[in-house]
Amino acid sequence: LEVVERYGADALRYSLISGMSVGTDVILDPRDLESTFAPARNFANKLWNAGRFILSNLEGPTRPLAGSRTAVVRGEELTLADRWIIARCDAAVVEATEAYERFRLNEAAAAVYRFIWSDLADWYIEQVKPRLYGDQQGGDVARAVVAQTFDVALRLLHPVMPFITEALWRRFPGRPDTASISVAPWPRHDRRAQDPAALRDFGLVQELIGAIRGIRAEYGVQPGQVVRAVVSASEGHTSAVLERERATITRLAKLSAVAFSPNHERVGGHAVLSDRTSVFVPLGEAIDIGKECGRLGIETERLLRLVESQEKKLGNEQFVSRAPSDVVDRERQKLTSWKEQRDVLVKKRELLGCG
């Protein structure tokens, strides 16, 4: 009862179900309820906030995507992000349904969690916000897509978190007061939703944005600071996809501009994507290069001293022969880790043009 009062019944249910994998005990520490139940509470909050945002942008009954004799959203009206989230939603239906049918409730909960938290909330909603606001072109299509995919997500999650899903589902425009998600049809796999091209192409966009965000974090660029990016695509198709999604990349990666060119400045951060496309972020306008070089220099010197000391230690035959093998292995792992960190810092100093 204390857990329900502090975190909610749905959070309790999700915590228990998500931790009940086959052959594993569910460990609930009564002395540390926060660590045990906070992740589920955070998920419930994420779901509620996403739901409120979506529902606030649905002015009335939305156009169905397919299978209706009334007005439908035609395939050519869908953007890359629309096609991607529809494909990801269908994949979640398949994965969650199979898990429920095999009584792997934790796997079903995990599948829906990933779809709602990452695919829907972190990516799709953020991508379509400009289309949802006001009367921008494609807004009705975006509302139809987000309404349908969120409706499906709620039905998939209902067996695990029945209260919050019921509350959100009943708030959809046009729902009669007597409607209940508990008797709504179970989502079904739709082959028309399968779209390998959309999964691949939007995956490129996600990877590029993630790489730029990683560079920003790695070099301590402030969240509100915009930067430029130069992308050198590995092939024509990649270049065309990223060019078409320029607005999404610019907004979600917080860029002032993005250029597609093999040429770039010498000072900045660099990353290579899985298809060998490279991205370069000039940093001269975003950070104090001299200060960053100084910080990296101090850290590099510290690692050099650690490596030198560790090499001497492991070069001592008496230590290696007398110490337990697991101790020697740990010391060797430390040396390998410090060398890798040192090499990364040396490369970063080169990219920043440090003397």
Which string of DSSP letters, residue by residue, matches 13-62? HHHHHHT--TT------TT-HHHHHHHHHHHHHHHHHHHHHHHHT--SSP
Radius of gyration over every alpha carbon of the chain, rounded to an integer in angstroms: 25
pLDDT above 60: residue 245: yes
Q: Per-residue confidence at 1, pLDDT binned at 50, 70, 90? A: low
Lowest-pLDDT range of 13-17, 173-177, 224-228, 284-288: 284-288
Q: Position 30: which residue type?
A: P
Lowest-pLDDT range of 63-67, 90-94, 320-324: 63-67
More confident residue, 265 or 79: 79
- Mean pLDDT over 65-70 rounds to 39
- With contact defined as beta carbons under 8 Å apart, do 92 and 257 qualify? no
Helix (H, G, I), strand (E, B) or coil at 137: coil
CB-CB neighbours of 174 under 10 Å = 9
What is the second-level CATH architecture of the domain 2-194? Orthogonal Bundle (1.10)
pLDDT score for 70: 34
pLDDT above 70: residue 8: yes
pLDDT above 70: residue 134: no
Q: Per-residue confidence at 223, pLDDT binned at 50, 70, 90? A: confident
CB-CB neighbours of 14 under 10 Å = 25
pLDDT score for 22: 60
pLDDT score for 164: 95
Helix (H, G, I), strand (E, B) or coil at 255: strand
- Mean pLDDT over 91-114 rounds to 96
Helix (H, G, I), strand (E, B) or coil at 138: coil
pLDDT score for 205: 97
- Quick: pLDDT tens for 174-194: 888 888 999 999 999 998 889
Strand partners for 270:
280
- Mean pLDDT over 199-208 rounds to 96
Q: Per-residue confidence at 67, pLDDT binned at 50, 70, 90? A: very low
Residue 42: which residues within 8 A CB-CB, separation 6 or more?
none
